Amino acid sequence: MLKSIPGVVHPQLLFALASMGHGDDLVIADANFPAATATRDSRRLIRTSGISATDLGAAILKLFPLDAYVEAPLGLMAPARPEDEGAPALEDLTAMLKREAPGITVASIDRFEFYERARKAFAVVATSDARPYANIIMTMGVIPGSADGR
């Protein structure tokens, strides 16, 4: 058992996060997302259940350094149709990101561009969140260290 690791970050997910490097992308996907098709390697597909993309994203952000060298280290899938604007999942994710990553730029990413980035991502975390547009991409940054490497 470890301290300070959110319980929803299970061992397979924790291993993936610890294996990532600077510039790698992590996708948190809703239940509608074609996660198996988008994942370049089945070992990079991580399945979770019983948690929303919003709650999982908040838990991961407690451990995940965001990339300070890119304009937008966070991205949400943009609504594909005008009637999808204001989707509840997008509102929840936006509020969570403002709370957990204040001042960080969040990009709105076209659906097909999101799919393309997911194909190149280090890992895709498939949730059971049934809400459309509960999809987020996070770009890994670096953990600041001291000059002597400690």
1-18 pLDDT per residue, tens? 678 899 899 999 999 999
60-117 pLDDT per residue, tens? 999 999 999 999 999 999 999 999 999 999 999 999 999 999 999 999 999 999 999 9
Q: How many CA atoms are closer than 13 Å to the CA of 126, on its beta-carbon side?
A: 15
Average pLDDT over residues 127-133: 97
Q: Does domain 20-139 bear CATH number 3.40.50.300?
A: no
pTM over 0.85: yes
Catalytic residue IDs: 22, 67, 115
CA 64 to CA 137: how far, in whole Å? Answer: 12
Residue 144, both tokens: 């600041």
Q: Give the other-Cβ count within 10 Å of 98's Cβ.
A: 12
CA 27 to CA 114: how far, in whole Å? Answer: 9
CA 132 to CA 70: how far, in whole Å? Answer: 27
